[in-house]
Amino acid sequence: MSNPCPLSVYLITFNEAERLDEVLSAVSFAAEIIVVDSGSTDDTIMIAERHGARVIHRNWPGFAKQKAFAMSQCTQPWLLNLDGDEVLSEESAAHIQTVVTGENPSHGAYRLHFEDIFWGRPMSSKAAKRHIVRLFRQGTARYPEDRMVHENVKLEKGTTTGDIKGLVMHYGYGSTELLMNKQNSYSSLKAQQKFNSNKKPSLLKLLLVFPLTFLKTYLFKRHFMSGKRGLTHAYIESMYAFLKEAKLFELTERNK
């Protein structure tokens, strides 16, 4: 590109060939793409290199530590983190370019909004969308490296946040099996993280966390607008909340 945006896009990958071409095509405007791979055996590396990415192999140390390392390799004034199954919409890509090339952006960090593709299509447009800070100025964010999962950045004091327009298509929860397997794995990591931090399990939470999470997800986040898909998604989200507490109880009992 003759005038690439002053933006580093960084990803951590492991066998992400299925969507990686779409992911990287959508950020072709960036001056730099960093891919930190932990041993892919599919075409991930070939695809990344075809898009001009700098590919670095690094054995898996955990989500937060891997992302912190990938961030440390970035050289541009603005940083954007994506996963290998997250594709920017044209609207989001255009807004990001406007922000990072502006002379005086309104904020130091920006949230991206995500559209989960489930059973082959997006959830209802009226359902609540997940949003995470993924775009920020160099030096304004860091990863809490003690976290084993859900490793969202922590912003430096005084950093204000805005929102990027449009949606990011997320394909990582595409099927019931895939979503359930991921939430089962994530709940184990989250329970271990809580145990390592000396968090105590709660019998009341074990009893109430499933129904309360279901009400929050199905009604207040309007998953009911997605019909049977929304019902299924809400049940799995509620099971994730329950499993975190149940596994924390198990770890506590086993280590008495």
2 pLDDT band (50/70/90 cuts)? low
* DSSP tag of 156: P
* Interacting residues of 89 by C-beta distance below 8 A, sequence separation 6+: 26, 166, 167, 168, 169
| Mean pLDDT across 179-198 | 96
As a whole number of angstroms, the distance between CA 44 and CA 62 comes to 19
In whole numbers, what is the pLDDT of the chain averaged over residues? Answer: 96
As a whole number of angstroms, the distance between CA 99 and CA 88 comes to 15
| Mean pLDDT across 7-26 | 98
pLDDT by residue (tens digit) across 43-59? 999 999 999 999 999 99
Place of tokens 């999470």: 213
149 pLDDT band (50/70/90 cuts)? confident
| In the predicted structure, residue 1 carries a pLDDT above the cut 60 | no
Decide: 127 and 226 in contact? Cβ < 8 Å.
yes
Which helix (H) or strand (E) covers residue 36, if one does? strand 30-37
pLDDT by residue (tens digit) across 79-89? 999 999 999 99
Q: CATH assignment of 5-170?
A: 3.90.550.10
pLDDT by residue (tens digit) across 92-126? 999 999 999 988 889 999 999 999 999 999 999 99
pLDDT by residue (tens digit) across 237-247? 999 999 999 99
Decide: 239 and 210 in contact? Cβ < 8 Å.
yes
Task: Provide the pLDDT for residue 148.
Answer: 84
CA 189 to chain centre: 15
> Quick one: three-class SS letters along 64-127?
HHHHHHHHHCCCCCEEEECCCCEEECHHHHHHHHHHHHCCCCCCCEEEEEEEEEECCEECCCCC
Half-sphere exposure of 19 (CA within 13 A, CB side): 20
Place of tokens 């960084």: 10
Place of tokens 């290998």: 84
- DSSP track, 56-71: EE-----HHHHHHHHH
Q: Are strands 109-118 and 121-122 parallel, antiparallel or unpaired?
A: antiparallel
Domain ranges in the chain with CATH number 3.90.550.10: 5-170
pTM over 0.75: yes
